[in-house]
Amino acid sequence: MSYMLSHLHNGWQVDQAILGEEDRVVVIRFGHDWDPTCMKMDETLYRICDKVKNYAVVYLVDITEVPDFNKMYELYDPCTMMYFFRNKHIMIDLGTGNNNKINWPIDDEQEVIDIVETVYRGARKGRGLVVSPKDYSTKYRY
């Protein structure tokens, strides 16, 4: 479903997408359209796109086409999702130790909606770090 979502093709477009949005969270999925994990994440993002349009906007960035942010945001994983609000990177505490981004695919629509909504509410209050509604640490999986 990546062809249904907006793609950003250069660093300037990514900057303008982050800078230009005043009232909504900018959700950017960094990765490759051909990657199976990105395909799974894109499918989920496409399904929630219409539901979160009032407080979030979703963009896709191919990290080989736009390598400008790879070092800055440490984009070494196949699929990475990051959040920005009013030109500020919003970090999210998922219980994994990496608060900068989500680097695994999420299948559940409601989970992604909850995360985006939490980021939006926290960012509106001026917080740079929000706590995820669900703990993704592996210690509870066994």
State how far the Cα of 113 lies from the Cα of 13, in Å rounded to an integer: 25
pTM for this predicted structure: 0.88
Domain 6-131 architecture: 3-Layer(aba) Sandwich (3.40)
pLDDT given at position 2: 59
pLDDT at 101: 87
Three-class secondary structure of residue 69 per DSSP: helix
**Per-residue pLDDT tens digits of the chain, which is 142 residues long:** 457 788 989 989 999 999 988 899 999 999 998 999 999 999 999 999 999 999 999 999 998 898 888 888 888 888 999 999 999 999 999 888 778 889 888 888 999 999 999 999 999 999 989 988 888 777 555 4
Going from N- to C-terminal start, the domains of the chain cover 6-131
Number of residues assigned to the chain: 142
The helices-and-strands tally (H runs, E runs) of the chain is 3, 6
Residues 6+ away with beta carbon under 8 Å from 72: none
Inter-helix orientation angle 109-124/36-49, to 10°: 70
